[in-house]
Structure 1
C-alpha cells in the first residue's frame, strides 16, 4: 500500500492550529480506545509527530481486545494465533488537543487502527459506530447525539476494610455521608474540581455545559451538549473521562466510573440522548406527547427489541449488573414513557422541535462508542421495520411492569448467539467482543471472595 510521504497532507487544519497554539510542545499521548473504552497507546516526542501523521504508528492488534486487566485474550484470535502482529494506527483528524493538566506542554491524539490491507479494522469500536452512521447516511438521515456521564469522587486512600470512601469535602474538611441530589452547596464545595474540568473542556473543545451533584455522596454528573456527528460526541465522552480522572488525581482524589461502587448507594449511568434529522435538517421525532411521531415510536420499538441482544454492550462487566436494582432510577425492563425516569427509553420534556429519546440502560463503565452504536442501530432497525413499542408508561414503571433481573452470564450467552449483533456489527466484532467477555467472566468467577469465607468457611 502506498503511503503518503507528506505529513502536511494528513494534518487537518484544526490539528495544525492546535500545534501552533501549544508553545514548547514536548510530548504527545497517542490514544487508542479499546473495546472496554480504556485508552491504550504510546507517548511520543514532538519531533516524532510528523512521522506519525505521515506513516502512522504500529501497535499490537491484540490491544483492541485486551481484557479489563490488560491481558491479551487469546480466544479472540488476535494474539499468538497471528504472532501478536502490529497494525498501523493513524491519527483521527481533528483530535489533536492540548493536555492542560500536564506539568509540561503536552498534547493528545486519538488513533484508529487499520486492518492488514490498510482499511479500517472492523472491530475497532469507533469503526463499529461509523458503519452504523453510514447506514443512516445512505437513507439521507443524520443522528444527533449527546452523552451524559455519572461518576464518583473518592478519597485516594481506601477505608479500613480496603473499600472506597467519599473524598473529603474541600470546604468542610469532612466526608459527605448523606444524599443531597442536585444540591448546589456540594457543587460550590467542589468548585475547584468542576472549574478545572470546565477549563480542560474549553481547552480541548469538549462541549460540556452542565454539572450536577447526583444521587449519592460524592457522585456527580457532567453533561455534554448534543452534536450532529455521533463520532465526535463519543470522542467527547472518551476525552471527558480522561480529563475528569486526571484532574481528580491532581487534586488528591480518585474519579471512578464504576457502575455500582456501593451496594447501598446509586450506581453510575451513561445516558445517550438521540434524535434523527432528515435530509432537510428536520427532526423526524418532532411531535408532542399527545400524538407521538411514527418515527419516534418505531425507533423506541427497535430499542426495545434489540435491548437484550445489546445488553452486554450496555453492561459489559461483572459489577455492571449490581446497578440493576429496584427504585434506583435504573431501568429493569424495556418500557418507555414521557418525562419519566423509571423507564428505559425516556422521552424528556421538551418542545416538539427538540423531541428525542434518552436511552438509560447503560452504565458509565461501558464504552461510549459501542453504547451509541447499539442505540442508533436499534433505532434504525425499528424505523426500518415499523416496530410498535406499545403504550407509554405513566407513573412508576417499577410498579406497573415486570421487573427483570439481568445476569452477566446470560448477557454474554445472548450476545455471542445474537443474529442482530452479527448483522448490525459484523461476525468478527461479535466474536472478538464475546470472547473477551467470556474470558473476563471465567477469570472473575475463578476467584474466591471474602464473602465466601465469611459464609462458608466455618458453616460448612
Structure 2
C-alpha cells in the first residue's frame, strides 16, 4: 500500500456522532501497538473535532513498547528521535459508544499518518496489513477474511492459592466439566451474552455463533466474514476490547491468553480467508473439496512461510504452551480437508463458500500482524505456484513429522533470519518489532518467580 494514499475518517462522522450522542463527554482515543495492546488518551468532548481536523500527537515510543509498557531503546523510537510527537488520525467508522461504562464514554481508534506520523508510522501494524493487502490487490486478488476468537471467562477474584479460576455462572456455581457445545453452559452466562450481543449490535460488529468451547468457562463467538480484510481485522480489534469491557461489567475477566491453564485447552484465533476477484467472485470456489489450484497454491505458500512468520502468530512465551497433541491446537505444518487436527483446514460446505481456516494463531496474537503474515504467505504461494502436497487424512497428530517449535527464542531467530519476511514486511517495521520482542524475551527469561522456587528452591 502506498502510505500516501491512506485515507482517514471525515470530520462529518464526528459531527454526526456528537449530535446523536449529546450525553457523551469522554472519548478514549487509542492506537493498537504491535503486541495488540490498545494505548492512548482520554479526551473531553470539546477536543474531538480537532482530532479529525488536524490529528492528535502521540509519542513515537507508543509503537515501540514491550507488553508491559516499557520503552525499548533499540527500537529507534526513543532517544534517537527525542520521543518526538507523531500525529495520528481517526480510522473511519471506529467512533463508537462503550455501553458498559458507568460514565457515558465513546472510543475512537486512530492510526499514524504516513508522513506526519513518522517515525512511528513505520511500526504501525495496521499500515503493515494495508500494504500486504494492496500488494495482493495489485495482482488482482482481493482477500476476504473473518476472525474467530476463543477466550475464558474468569472470576475477577483468584482462588485461595492465588490462581485464576472460572467465573461463577448464573446459579452461583463454577463450571468444572468440559461441556463442549453445551447449551446449558451458554444459558448460564446469558446475562453476559445478552449484554455482549447488544453491545456488538450497537457498535456494528457482526457477532454470530456462540459456542461453549473445549474447557470449563471457555467461549468462542464468531465474527462474520468481510470482503474488506482490513475492516475484518478492525472489527476483531474492537470486538476484543468489547468482550473485555462487558466481562468487567459483570465482575469477570475475559482472558485471551493462549494457554492460561496447563491442564485445559488453549485459546486460539482462527482466521478464515479466501480470495475474490474484483467483482467479488470467490476464486477458491470449487466443487472439489480441496478447492481450486489457486487455493492449493495459497496453502503451499502459508506452509512454506509458517516457521518464518510463527512469531507473529504466537508472539509470547505462553503462546507455545498451547501446542500439545490431541488438543485441537496444531503441531506441524500440515493441511487437510474438513480436518481439525491440522494447521490449515479447508472446511466443507457449498462450493461458493470454499476457503481456508488458519488454526495456528493464539488468541494473544495481534490480528493485524497475524492477517498480514497469512496474506503475505498466500501471495508468495501464488507467485511461486507452491505445491502443498497431498492433504492429511485422519489423525494429523499421529502423522506429524516436522513439528512446530515450542519455544519463543527459536521463532524469534527464524523471523530475524527470514529473507522473505524482510521483503514482505520491510526492514523498518521488522527492526522495531524484533527489538521489542528481543527485549521482552530477555526480561521474561530474567524474571525469577513461583515456578523457579517450586522446582529448584530445595532440590537444586
TM-score (norm: length of structure 2)? 0.95
* Equivalent residues of 2:14, 2:48 under 8 A apart: no
| Cα shift at 1:453 | 2.0
* Equivalent residues of 2:291, 2:354 under 8 A apart: no
Closer, same or farther: CA 174–426 of 1 in aligned 2, 3 Å: same
Structure 1 CA distance, aligned partners of 2:28 and 2:81?
27
1:434-449 maps to which residues of 2 (within 5 A)? 434-449=434-449
* Equivalent residues of 2:31, 2:38 under 8 A apart: yes
Partner of 2:4 in structure 1?
Answer: none
SS at match of 2:122: coil
Partner of 1:365 in structure 2?
Answer: 364
Partner of 1:4 in structure 2?
Answer: none
1:25-424 maps to which residues of 2 (within 5 A)? 25-114=24-113, 117=116, 121-170=121-170, 172-289=171-288, 292-402=291-401, 403-424=403-424
Closer, same or farther: CA 347–10 of 1 in aligned 2, 3 Å: closer
* Equivalent residues of 2:88, 2:117 under 8 A apart: no
Structure 1 CA distance, aligned partners of 2:289 and 2:53?
56
1:189-216 CA distances to partner (integer Å, 9 max, x unpaired)?
1010011110110010111111111000
* Equivalent residues of 1:348, 1:355 under 8 A apart: yes
| Cα shift at 1:19 | 3.1
Structure 2 CA distance, aligned partners of 1:130 and 1:456?
48
| Cα shift at 1:167 | 0.5
SS at match of 2:121: coil
Structure 2 CA distance, aligned partners of 1:24 and 1:327?
51
Structure 1 CA distance, aligned partners of 2:199 and 2:207?
10
* Equivalent residues of 2:208, 2:222 under 8 A apart: yes
Q: Which runs of 5+ in 1 are unaligned?
A: 1-8
1:212-243 CA distances to partner (integer Å, 9 max, x unpaired)?
11000000011100001111111111111111
| Cα shift at 1:13 | 5.2
Closer, same or farther: CA 135–450 of 1 in aligned 2, 3 Å: same
Structure 2 CA distance, aligned partners of 1:94 and 1:173?
39
1:279-319 CA distances to partner (integer Å, 9 max, x unpaired)?
23211111134563100000000000011010000000010
Closer, same or farther: CA 443–428 of 1 in aligned 2, 3 Å: same
SS at match of 2:364: coil
1:308-351 CA distances to partner (integer Å, 9 max, x unpaired)?
01000000001001011111001111110111111000001111
| Cα shift at 1:15 | 4.6
* Equivalent residues of 1:151, 1:256 under 8 A apart: yes
Closer, same or farther: CA 103–290 of 1 in aligned 2, 3 Å: closer
| Cα shift at 1:399 | 0.8
Closer, same or farther: CA 294–12 of 1 in aligned 2, 3 Å: farther
Structure 2 CA distance, aligned partners of 1:315 and 1:10?
32
* Equivalent residues of 1:15, 1:95 under 8 A apart: no
Partner of 1:456 in structure 2?
Answer: 456
TM-score (norm: length of structure 1)? 0.95
Closer, same or farther: CA 457–315 of 1 in aligned 2, 3 Å: same
